[in-house]
């Protein structure tokens, strides 16, 4: 997280140094802003002089930082952030800490922004009392938006997510279904594999594929981004043709475009304007591979003599999709091992000697041609689990 903190008194400045120092040690990127008269000669590089008013400082950091920490009165923080509040899905986490370090208060974006978790972390760090007032936390129930964020799941419908959150805290039953293995099982407070009036479904599909006739109107989809979209095209193919080919192919195959984490192709297409524009439009990374890298991918592919003559490899979209998904699977496995090591307090390196990433990948959409564009999708075969910090 990018965390910015501000203090107003000498004692508050000492508290801010302690908090940000601990967060820095945990791997967060922190910046603290302190009045000139409270600065010392041996300040860490991440402590700076505060030259702006509280309002100007808040304006500057509200959209840049993931979390804001005000060491001082709650009222100062409330007045400072009030003009800039927009949406619970995009606002940063905001916390207030009293200058003596007795209380750490989650003020804004407790779930999606991570303020509640950060509040607990800081309270544990400085020996303070955490103050969290969101209903689901008070009741010990799982907030589905926070649960989704911790697992990098895309929320299909914000308004429906709010309704389901309200239903949970009001004691209503909400069904839970998943097309993927879920580490830890069903979230607390939900009905596992029981269809209710409102439901949560972890899936990368557009419409239900499970046996139960889930109503899409009352079913919130949480979408894992495990897929790599491989694309091949002729030189100069316009954005519109690429967009149409991708959307039509994925809709036909009942796959949500939001499940795609990256776009892949051959390195000859590194400067292809249409592909670059489509990746930018979808806010997705665009990765390319050499023909030698693609040829090392094993499998039965739909080959094209013309494509082989031009690129050196007979199939671009399927091979690039599988290679991209394999690399993601390997990264996810590495992060899983790191998290397991952290949880077990063991300091040992991850061992990938017997891990074959390509075996953890499925080609869910084979090569499909549409208006001169070829599309394929490979998905990493992974479980739903919290992301390693």
Per-residue pLDDT, 154: 95
Host domain of residue 267: 227-380
CATH number of the domain enclosing 56? 3.40.50.11220
Q: Which position has the token pair 């909400």?
A: 174
Task: Indicate whether 78 and 100 sit together in one domain.
Answer: yes
The answer to whether residues 215 and 261 belong to one domain is no
Do residues 165 and 62 both lie within one domain? no
Q: Which tokens sit at 95?
A: 């916390």
Decide if 388 is inside a domain: no
Six token digits for residue 141: 């129930």
The reply to whether 63 and 179 lie within a common domain is no
Contacts of 327 (CB under 8 A, 6+ apart): 357
Domain assignment present for residue 281? The answer is: yes
Round to whole Å and give the CA distance between 86 and 109: 11
Is residue 282 assigned to a domain? yes
Task: Report the helix count and the strand count for the chain, using DSSP H and E.
Answer: 12, 17
pLDDT at residue 72, as a whole number: 96
pTM: 0.78
Report if residue 64 sits inside a domain.
Answer: yes
198 and 253 within one domain: no
Question: Residues 166, 179: one domain?
Answer: yes
Q: How many CB atoms lie within 10 A of CB 343?
A: 9
Residue at 311 is within a domain: yes
Query: Which of 208, 224, 240 marks a domain boundary?
Result: 224
Segments in the chain below pLDDT 70: 208-217, 339-340, 342-358, 387-389
pLDDT for the residue 73: 96
Q: Same domain for 20 and 123?
A: yes
Residues 178 and 255 in one domain: no
Predicted local confidence at residue 138, as pLDDT = 82
346 and 251 housed in the same domain = yes
Q: What's the pLDDT at 69?
A: 98
Helix axes 74-81, 54-62, angle to 10 degrees: 60
User: Are 159 and 118 contained in the same domain?
Assistant: no
Report the interhelical angle of 10-25 vs 115-126 (nearest 10°).
110
The answer to whether residues 242 and 348 belong to one domain is yes
Asked whether the beta carbons of 7 and 32 are under 8 A apart, the reply is: yes
Domain-terminating residue out of 179, 194, 224: 224
Which tens digits make up the pLDDT trace of 211-229?
Answer: 556 666 689 999 999 999 9
Q: How far is CA 156 from CA 22, 109, 228, 369, 380, in A?
A: 35, 19, 19, 28, 20
Question: Around Cβ 294, how many Cβ atoms within 10 Å?
Answer: 26
Total count of domains within the chain: 3
142 neighbors 176 (Cβ within 8 angstroms): no
Is 139 part of a structural domain of the chain? no
156 within a domain of the structure (yes/no): yes
Residue 385 domain-assigned (yes or no): no
């Amino acid at each position: 997280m990018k965390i910015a903190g501000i203090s107003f008194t000498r004692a508050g400045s000492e508290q801010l140094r302690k908090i940000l120092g601990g967060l820095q040690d945990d791997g967060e990127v922190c910046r603290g802003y302190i009045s000139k008269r409270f600065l010392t000669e041996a300040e860490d590089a991440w402590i700076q002089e505060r030259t702006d008013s509280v309002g100007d400082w808040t304006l500057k950091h509200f959209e840049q930082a993931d979390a804001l920490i005000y060491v001082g009165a709650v009222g100062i923080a409330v007045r400072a952030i009030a003009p800039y509040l927009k949406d619970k899905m995009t606002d940063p986490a905001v916390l207030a800490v009293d200058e003596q370090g007795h209380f750490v208060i989650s003020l804004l974006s407790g779930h999606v922004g991570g303020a509640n978790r950060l509040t607990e972390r800081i309270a544990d760090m400085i020996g303070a009392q955490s103050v969290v007032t969101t209903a689901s936390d008070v009741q010990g129930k799982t907030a589905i938006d926070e649960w989704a964020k911790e697992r990098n799941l895309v929320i299909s419908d914000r308004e429906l997510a709010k309704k389901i959150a309200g239903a949970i805290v009001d004691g209503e039953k909400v069904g839970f279904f998943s097309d993927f293995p879920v580490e830890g099982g069903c979230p607390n407070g939900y009905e596992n594999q029981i269809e209710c009036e409102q439901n949560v479904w972890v899936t990368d599909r557009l419409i239900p594929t499970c046996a139960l006739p889930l109503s899409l109107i009352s079913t919130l989809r949480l979408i894992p981004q495990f897929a790599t979209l491989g694309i091949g095209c002729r030189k100069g193919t316009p954005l519109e043709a690429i967009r149409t080919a991708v959307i039509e192919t994925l809709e036909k195959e009942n796959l949500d475009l939001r499940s795609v984490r990256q776009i892949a192709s051959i390195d000859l297409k590194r400067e292809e304007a249409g592909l670059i524009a489509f990746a930018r439009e979808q806010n997705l990374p665009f990765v390319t591979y050499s023909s030698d890298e693609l040829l090392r991918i094993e499998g039965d592919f739909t080959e094209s003599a013309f494509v082989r003559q031009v690129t050196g490899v007979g199939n671009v979209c399927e091979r690039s999709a599988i290679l991209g998904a394999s690399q993601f699977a390997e990264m996810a496995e590495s992060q899983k091992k790191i998290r397991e090591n952290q949880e077990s307090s063991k300091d040992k390196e991850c061992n990938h000697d017997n891990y074959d990433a390509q075996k953890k990948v499925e080609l869910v959409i084979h090569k499909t041609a549409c208006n001169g564009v070829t599309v394929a999708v490979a998905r990493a075969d992974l479980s739903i689990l919290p992301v390693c910090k």
